[in-house]
Amino acid sequence: MSWSEFGKRFARRTGARELMDDLGDALASDRDICMLGGGNPAHIPEIEAVFQAEIERILANEGEYRRMFANYPSPQGEERFRTSLANLFNREYGWDVTAKNIALTSGSQAGFFILFNLLAGRQPDGSFRKILLPVTPEYIGYQDLGLTEGMLTALKPTIEELEDHQFKYRLDVSNLEIGPDIGAVCISRPTNPTGNVLTDNEMEQLLSAARGAGVPLIVDNAYGMPFPQILFTDVKPVWNPDLIMCMSMSKLGLPGIRTGVIVAEESIIDAVGSVNSVLSLAVPSVGAVLLNDLVASGRILEISEKIIRPFYVAKKDKALAHIHDEFEGIDYRVHKPEGALFLWLWFPGLPISSEELYRRLRQRDVLVLSGHNFFPGLDVEWQHRDECIRMTYSQDDSQVQRGIAAIAEEVRRAWQEAR
């Protein structure tokens, strides 16, 4: 088949495709695979019971059923849900927003595709603007969202060494420069893959720099506040017209409903609605109707704080304990886990590439992700990116423990081969 330029770009193999193929293969396999590579949230029985009860209530109500399945919503998404979200944000955090400041998308990935291509790429005057990722490593899914090549540019962080085999990436303020070729700045908080949470001071510095350059700061809040609150450090949700806040319903435990949320000033929301109408006429209403009462009542905050966050804190602590036990004698670092579902492992001086380590583990039915996939837009050589892997701790505890043991064995084997 002879593809167009669009076809060649989006039909190729990508890190995101590799991740989702691994996830699909693992779920379809009858082998006992340690699925430590994907971002699928855990199946939390208490949360699933809440959603099942909501589904039963909706199916018993003809009007709610039709809202969910039988009527087109507006291009910005189901309006009652957007109003409920606006009321929640205003009531709990003092944001000054209405439904006109909120758009829904078919998953947050689709939302970032729309935003990146609205704000960057080829401009009407012939110039070209990029999305700046001010701290790498960053989310694997950003890499291929641009309709044209070269849409992303990234900055290396500084590395702060911490106690107990931990480290932390920091915003390198000395190199933070937003030139006229930048259309927007984007950061995930907490960060996928590392679990890094930029401090309030770092966020203020980013926002000030973006405001000075006249471009928006996009915040990918898929794991953060106010929901699902997979955060292990204090963060207050903040929004203003210079920010584009992006949220996801996936990490609540609902990745299959593909519901993303964008909070922004009205002209951006109107543009997102226009793109939604072209791509799919309207955004599916399943997630919006399912979650509306939980949002309107504020119960979504309660289940995030009292069920989801404590669940992942316990999972994270268990995984860290296994790592410290199994990695005894190995030169390793773990990025300080401040949120999200992942541990970011760094093996300084690793004698094989992280991609080769990924392949060796895959042969043992242990799926992780090679770190080299998580540096989109970084166009300088950096050995560090070939010394890291990402693993999730969201899956069954026995699988996580077995996978960690396999990682330790393969790292030791690589060092033995090199001697």
CB 38, CB 19: distance < 8 Å? yes
What digits encode the pLDDT tens for the residues 336-357? 999 999 999 999 999 999 999 9
Confidence of residue 25 (pLDDT cuts 50, 70, 90): low
What does the pLDDT read at residue 18? 65
Strand ranges across the sheet with 333-335:
158-161, 166-170, 333-335, 342-346, 388-392, 369-370
What does the pLDDT read at residue 19? 60
Q: Are strands 102-105 and 34-35 parallel, antiparallel or unpaired?
A: unpaired
**What's at 68, amino acid-wise?**
M
Confidence of residue 33 (pLDDT cuts 50, 70, 90): confident
* d(C-alpha 329, C-alpha 29), whole Å: 34
Cis link prior to 284 (omega < 30° from 0)? Answer: no
What does the pLDDT read at residue 110? 95
Encoding tokens for residue 30? 């009858």
- Whether the CA torsion 318, 324, 325, 326 is positive or negative: it is positive
Instruction: Tell me, yes or no, if the two domains 5-47+303-418 and 70-299 fold the same way.
Output: no
CB 315, CB 342: distance < 8 Å? no
* d(C-alpha 345, C-alpha 403), whole Å: 13
- Tell me the average pLDDT across 165-172: 97
Confidence of residue 174 (pLDDT cuts 50, 70, 90): very high
Which has more pLDDT, 123 or 13? 123
First to last CA, the chain: 48
Q: Return the domain boundaries, the chain.
A: 5-47+303-418, 70-299
What does the pLDDT read at residue 28? 60
Backbone phi and psi for residue 104, each to the nearest 5 degrees, phi listed first = -100, 150
Candidate CATH numbers 2.30.40.10, 1.20.1070.10, 3.90.1150.10, 3.80.10.10; the one for domain 5-47+303-418: 3.90.1150.10
User: How many CB atoms are closer than 10 A to CB 326?
Assistant: 20
What does the pLDDT read at residue 5? 80
Which residues on neighbouring strands pair with residue 105, listed in sequence order?
260
Confidence of residue 20 (pLDDT cuts 50, 70, 90): low
Angle at 14 between CA 8 and CA 17, to 5 degrees: 110
What digits encode the pLDDT tens for the residues 34-66? 899 888 899 999 999 999 999 999 999 999 999
What digits encode the pLDDT tens for the residues 177-199? 999 999 999 999 999 999 999 99
What does the pLDDT read at residue 252? 95
Which has more pLDDT, 235 or 405? 405
Asked if pLDDT for residue 26 goes beyond 60, the answer is no
Q: Which fold has domain 70-299?
A: Aspartate Aminotransferase; domain 2 (3.40.640)
